[in-house]
Amino acid sequence: MLRIHAYDIDRLVPVASDTPAVAMAPAAAGSAAIALDANAPAQPPVVWYDLINPTPEEERSVGEALGIAVPTMDEMEDIELSARLYQEDGAEFMTMTVLTRPDAGTPRKVPVTFIIKGQALVTVRYSEPRPFDAFLARARRANGAGLHCGNGELIMAGLIEAVIDRMADTLERLGSDIDQISQEVFSAKAAKVNKKTRDLQELIREIGQTGEFLTVVRESLVSVARVVAYYSALDGLDRKLAKELRQRLKLLQRDAASLGDHSAFLSGKINFLLDATLGLINLEQNQIIKIFSVAAVVFLPPTLVASVYGMNFEIQPELKWHYGYPMALVLMVVSMILPYLYFKRKGWL
């Protein structure tokens, strides 16, 4: 699907893909809308070509209009830095990973490519992250975000801002989930050891899922920071960035850095909770082993007494004694009580 947007006074307006405005040539100027009919009213400048799951025909039409080669899905998924950030045909190609479906519990990171050619922006994506829809809804409102969408560079900055805002919300929700897990880990709600152990094992799964989610967020933050740093470095080299754009890129770098620090803090907290949960499980298991060990030691003396009087040798004075049997029972009970009291006094029970 190809969605084309033009900048009209103070907002983005959709342009039908079969109108003459698409056939105009922003390859040279990047923003000038050249009407085919001299008597026709001037069309607003096209500033954004949004390719969503594009067909080869849509890729070819945009590529011919701008004089660029639109990257394929395989090229976008290449992890090499030189394949994600590069210049070609007078355009800047920048690919970053964006979260999709973070609220569904099974987030995925998908590549999104930004192409800046002149004053136009081309985005290539094979998913529909919510930040794009949220930004577009604001940019289409009069006196809204469209005030900062006069060219492709500002649109790209706005999209990255929306992505960072979305990741900030995601990190805030992950922080709340981690706090809840922490309360469950260190609470003593389960009275039975086996039930508490099962609860802790379930918490390990939650911790693992949250840690995996956090890893995806951190990877996305790294890719966003790379894109912003790359485009900021072009200022004064290949192009001159506008003052407004330069300031917004600096803010984006700071936001990405602060979110990266916060995600590192949450990652450390996740590792601590994992270690604490494993430690509690080991303590519960050691407690069970200790109970068996104490029971074995407590029952060892009476077992010894019973073994001695179970040998049935003739030369055993107690065998002919009338009170020998009850005396042996008393001796076994006393031999059980004395180790128990000793362990209790030492604090081992």
**Chain segment 68-108, per-residue pLDDT in tens:** 888 888 888 887 777 788 888 888 899 998 888 655 556 77
For residue 31, what pLDDT is reported? Answer: 39
pLDDT, averaged across the chain:
81
Task: Report pLDDT digits (tens) over 108-145.
Answer: 788 999 999 888 999 999 888 888 888 888 888 866 55
Cα 188 to chain centroid, rounded: 29
CA dihedral 19, 21, 24, 26 (to 10 degrees): -140
Mean pLDDT of 290-317: 82
Mean pLDDT of 57-66: 89
Residues in the chain: 349
Q: Which CATH class is domain 2-284?
A: alpha beta
Shortest CA distance to 138 belongs to which of 9, 6, 10, 3?
Answer: 10
List the chain domain ranges. Answer: 2-284, 299-346
Q: Which region holds residue 32: left if phi is over 0, alpha if psi is between -120 and 50, else beta? A: beta
Contact 185, 149 (CB under 8 A): no
List, in sequence order, every residue forming a beta bridge with 176; answer none if it has no partner: none
Lowest mean pLDDT among 136-140, 217-221, 240-244, 272-276: 240-244
pTM of the model: 0.75
